[in-house]
Amino acid sequence: MRPDDDARRQARGGPFDGYHRRMVPPPDPELTQVGPGTPCGEYLRRFWQPVAFARDLSATPLRVRILGEDLVVFRDRSGRTGVLHLHCAHRGTSLEFGIPVERGIRCCYHGWVFDVDGRCLETPGQPSGSRLSERIWQGAYPTHEFSGLVFAYLGRPDRRPAFPIYDSFDVPGYRLMPAAKFALPCHWLQVKDNSMDPVHTAFLHALSSGYQFTEAFGVVPELDWLPTQAGMVYVATRRVGDLVWVRVCDFMPPNVHQFTREFEDATEAKPASRPVVIRWAVPNDDDQTTNFELAQVDPAWGLTAEQVAQPGFGQSDDRPYAERQRHPADFDAQSSQRRIAVHALEHLGAADRGVIMLRRIVRDGIRAVARGDDPQCAHWPDGTVIRTFTQDAVFRIPPAPDPEADRRLLRRTGRSVIDENRA
Amino acid sequence: MRPDDDARRQARGGPFDGYHRRMVPPPDPELTQVGPGTPCGEYLRRFWQPVAFARDLSATPLRVRILGEDLVVFRDRSGRTGVLHLHCAHRGTSLEFGIPVERGIRCCYHGWVFDVDGRCLETPGQPSGSRLSERIWQGAYPTHEFSGLVFAYLGRPDRRPAFPIYDSFDVPGYRLMPAAKFALPCHWLQVKDNSMDPVHTAFLHALSSGYQFTEAFGVVPELDWLPTQAGMVYVATRRVGDLVWVRVCDFMPPNVHQFTREFEDATEAKPASRPVVIRWAVPNDDDQTTNFELAQVDPAWGLTAEQVAQPGFGQSDDRPYAERQRHPADFDAQSSQRRIAVHALEHLGAADRGVIMLRRIVRDGIRAVARGDDPQCAHWPDGTVIRTFTQDAVFRIPPAPDPEADRRLLRRTGRSVIDENRA
Amino acid sequence: MRPDDDARRQARGGPFDGYHRRMVPPPDPELTQVGPGTPCGEYLRRFWQPVAFARDLSATPLRVRILGEDLVVFRDRSGRTGVLHLHCAHRGTSLEFGIPVERGIRCCYHGWVFDVDGRCLETPGQPSGSRLSERIWQGAYPTHEFSGLVFAYLGRPDRRPAFPIYDSFDVPGYRLMPAAKFALPCHWLQVKDNSMDPVHTAFLHALSSGYQFTEAFGVVPELDWLPTQAGMVYVATRRVGDLVWVRVCDFMPPNVHQFTREFEDATEAKPASRPVVIRWAVPNDDDQTTNFELAQVDPAWGLTAEQVAQPGFGQSDDRPYAERQRHPADFDAQSSQRRIAVHALEHLGAADRGVIMLRRIVRDGIRAVARGDDPQCAHWPDGTVIRTFTQDAVFRIPPAPDPEADRRLLRRTGRSVIDENRA
């Protein structure tokens, strides 16, 4: 066999062919860069992004890095939130050492004061009568505070959308509360891929490492993915004896998803339950992401704000490596797909259809922005409450006579949950 | 409004215009690179630079990084100090693991010995009769030990200046002692900017974070900056009732400044007091700086050498972040102006005139070296004792009838301190 | 003197000429890059390389970095070892979080299973009937387990050699045991240079830092280096009164060497003793190296496996810096020759002849591979037991009448050990 033949054979794949497949191409630049002026960075900037929990704003400001920009978040003494460029317009000292005042923030170094819109209000070291402050502006972004989360809009000012209202913000009987914040040392899109990938709940969270949720999760469900007005959903339908459990999760572009609590055990028929968690995956940089969560909480659960703020099991880097190896969870599976996952090396199958759809929505949005249009789901008519479908519903439906027919039945039952709602 | 108009309006500055001002240009390369062969690096190399305190030279050598070069500093057993390139001329092993011997230092790996001038004295592993050592030189720099500080000259050998003698080295009644050494993770010039920026004493050290010095510092003084033969001074003059307090500090290019102790409370008239601290800001690299201090100490203070060697409050990275946020000090204000401050983003005012003058002196020196000349203040006539002006003086001078006239009076009083001395 | 003259004089070397010799050229790219597709990287890949000790393979896999590639090493439940590319062929999750199963390893994220040859055995999330797995291969390398060490072959599949058998694997009366593993933060070649550099045993391990071995090591020996079929040897011959002590060590390209225990005190005549240590210096990256050792152990020593697995004194980064400065050892001398030693700055003498020969063997091998040939020592005839010479032998031979004659006598005695064996 000539070396050429060997190379050709190996390129198709074969035993012990690591030598022929060891080169790692760079990540897709269109999808994976988030800094100012990058295609994906400009796309993400067309949406309000959470930058801090209000609970973390105290007498001192909070330094954050969002989309590759260094920022300071603070609440001034009249209660307004500000998001400013980190470095003072005067000589660059970080405003993380600044002092929030009645109106805006004062830089520690020479006492200059900036309002939350960036206006310079005082330059006290200057000679009396100086009009220097009139031409000084600190870079600032508009903010919006909602349910204990501070959002900022970092995009083109003339395309700023209204803050979107999801129907899941208001679920009767539940209280929307600020929940967990946790970081992953990897690109945001691989964190989000996970949201439309229900197969992993059967493996990562059940068979691979012991049952992290309920035993019912240990069955690979009948799967479906559907576009919605808000973005897309997955529908995962499992048979549990005479019951059929339909689990639906939403992805809302560009980087939001929501899911129900992971404690459904599907032991009795019940209508759609929607105590959702809503999660934003905000890029700090190309290879670092912070998740911010809001959660619908049943007051009957008796949880304190501190308890609601705890990340779920295995979501954050809070376990020793040896334990993460024995019982891997979301943090481990997602952050270990390289710092920035390389799509060119993937082998996607039918079960990855949701991931493919999600990435298509993101790429379409990036290209819309690049050609001067608005991306999908950025702008909504005034007063819109955006319809989402996240739920657990359990129906009493006896099995069909044969496995193939039952699969069709499960699939039909799953879709009906969306169709009803869409009707 | 068309997008173009929007962009143009934002470029002038306006509310919430962070999007239009988020790009960060690179630092000025002429002013901010310190490595071998760079403009500023060659300028700084035309002066003696402190590289270590003698108190840190023991039976083992000291590894340092100065101006982007890895060096070893040691004292041999006959008492001479040596500053050599870190890596042995033989096969590169670090001389930080070498053994100071009677004459020079012996590399641990194969026992080669180098004198403090770099001459190779022994290559013991070689066959007897070998003359290999005669053609071996370890890179070496001349040293000068003064008041417990070891200085080296890293510049062009044929332009080596005499070691400069400042008048402040000898203040009657005080003893010049080795004082603190502390590092800042940032460029040296932003550390030095601070020296000609007296406004910050009113804010950073008083109003912003509580009174770190005396209450008298909490008034923005009448300010003046003047060129001197040694470099430049600032003159900060404050009225305290019937008293006028004149504080003067010197900047001696390229990277030295001196100041009085920060405990003047200006409660009575007194002649010029000069218990100065002299501080060199030596670049380790473009974005790391070590301050070395000598201090005039009154024996009556009863301070031990260890106490004199302690950095002042907030000068070094020795406080927890939360405390630094509540009570920011010099370390925080200076090191947070980015790792390397970006002058193109600054907005300087009248109170920054000293910073502008200081940078002009540095830039003029850089350009002088670049065109083959000597920079200002490098060479002095033999026997020169260089005149400096650092002092606190308090005069009993009742206020002028109106604020404007009093400001003129303060200014005149401040200048008189320099004129008298210059006369 | 004109500056030009000055520059020219300094280039030849002279006192305090650090300024003229401060520029550090890059390392030799031919010799010092180890990643996929680099000249030296492809050379090293033509040999079996140790990647892990079997003792470190447990119920969880082991993540390693070898020659710039991220790999996972594991033992499946049927006892076979596997070395696979770290990131799962599906969506890239690290197989360090995978679960070894009866046949191969299962990815934690979606349960895909790969056999030790890379074949995909299951893609459980896919629809029933899916034939996706048939076209999926995980990058895999062949493995060979020997004496508690797992070796892998990362080179061109069609040039895979048989695993080489050294005569030192079987020494009567001794037991070959897995020994130490320890890392150095530097390039592999400077770690290996040390193996053919017997002069350092007199300095680094004796005179420089106190006697780490026996006192007999404190004499610079009569030195010789000879090519052998297995690679090369050094012969270090010392006179100890009426005795002559011959110490021989082998270098077996590309990155193996062996040596005797360092406790010879040469107090009586004795035949060749061969309780060797065999050490592979495996590059993790260009500037990080892991040493793997096998050791011949005399059962009479009563050592536990844990004791045999301990690195020797000063071999690893297990001592505080202050102690390493006072008593430097191999780790310090080798790893401080820069992260990657710069040969262009070296000054080699007669005592470095072994280093020069070793590097020549490596460079010849690199060039052989580059032009399509096999490198020296990669392929051996079937059944070859490779002859090596590592030993301590002590002869009773009274000194010759004068020092020069005695040196010739020592040299002759040293060579005789090799000649006898080669005969």
Res B394: pLDDT: 95
The tens digit of pLDDT for each residue in A274-310 reads 889 999 999 999 999 999 999 999 999 999 999 999 9
Chains that touch C (3 or more CB pairs under 8 A): A, B
How far is the C-alpha of B262 from the C-alpha of A115, rounded, in Å? 33
B84 contacts in C (CB within 8 Å)?
18
pLDDT mean across residues, chain C: 93
Res A4: pLDDT: 53
For the question of whether the overall pTM of this predicted structure is more than 0.90, the answer is: yes
DSSP B132-172: GGGG-B--EE-EEEETTEEEE--S-GGGPPPPP-BGGG--T
Residue C110 is encoded by which pair of tokens? 């979606």
How far is the C-alpha of A351 from the C-alpha of A364, rounded, in Å? 22
Averages of pLDDT over each 10 residues, chain A, 423 residues: 49 89 96 98 98 97 98 98 98 97 96 97 86 94 98 98 97 96 98 94 73 67 94 95 95 97 82 91 98 96 96 94 95 97 96 97 98 97 96 95 93 90 50
Which chain A residue shows the shortest CA-CA distance from B338? A92
Q: Which residue positions in chain C have pLDDT lower than 50?
A: 1-3, 10, 423
How far is the C-alpha of C99 from the C-alpha of A246, rounded, in Å? 29
Q: List the single residue in C36, C119, C155 with the smallest CB-CB distance to A15.
A: C119
Res B396: pLDDT: 96
Chains that touch A (3 or more CB pairs under 8 A): B, C
Helix (H) or strand (E) holding A231: strand A231-240
Which chain C residue shows the shortest CA-CA distance from A330? C109
A111 contacts in B (CB within 8 Å)?
202-203, 207-208
What are the b/e assignments for A391-408, b being 16+ CB within 10 Å?
bbbbbebeeeeeeeebbe
Q: Where does residue A183 rank: exposed (0-12), middle (13-18), buried (19+ CB within 10 A)?
A: middle
Question: How far away is chain A from the Cα of C156, in angstroms, using its nearest Cα?
Answer: 6
Query: So what's the ipTM on this one?
Result: 0.94
Res C3: pLDDT: 47
How far is the C-alpha of C362 from the C-alpha of B176, rounded, in Å? 58
Residue A84 is encoded by which pair of tokens? 């400013």
Question: How far away is chain B from the Cα of C351, in angstroms, using its nearest Cα?
Answer: 5
The tens digit of pLDDT for each residue in B309-349 reads 999 999 999 999 999 999 999 999 999 999 999 999 999 99
Q: Which residue positions in chain B have pLDDT lower than 50?
A: 1-3, 10, 423
Res A126: pLDDT: 83
Q: List the single residue in B106, B118, B126 with the smallest CB-CB distance to C208.
A: B106
CB contact (8 A) between residue C352 and residue B91: yes
Question: How far away is chain C from the Cα of B83, in angstroms, using its nearest Cα?
Answer: 9
Res B423: pLDDT: 42
- The reply to whether omega before A254 is within 30° of 0 (cis) is yes
Res B304: pLDDT: 97
Query: Hey, of C62, C66, C110, which one would you mutate to test binding to chain A, going by the most A CBs within 10 A of its CB?
Result: C110
Q: In what order do the strands lie in the sheet with C113-114?
A: C99-100, C105-106, C113-114, C120-122
Query: Hey, of B90, B109, B115, B158, which one would you mutate to test binding to chain C, going by the most C CBs within 10 A of its CB?
Result: B109
CB contact (8 A) between residue B15 and residue A89: no
DSSP C341-360: --GGG----GGGHHHHHHHH
Q: List the single residue in A84, A109, A127 with the smallest CB-CB distance to B204.
A: A109
Bin B231: left if φ > 0, else alpha if -120 < ψ < 50, else beta: left
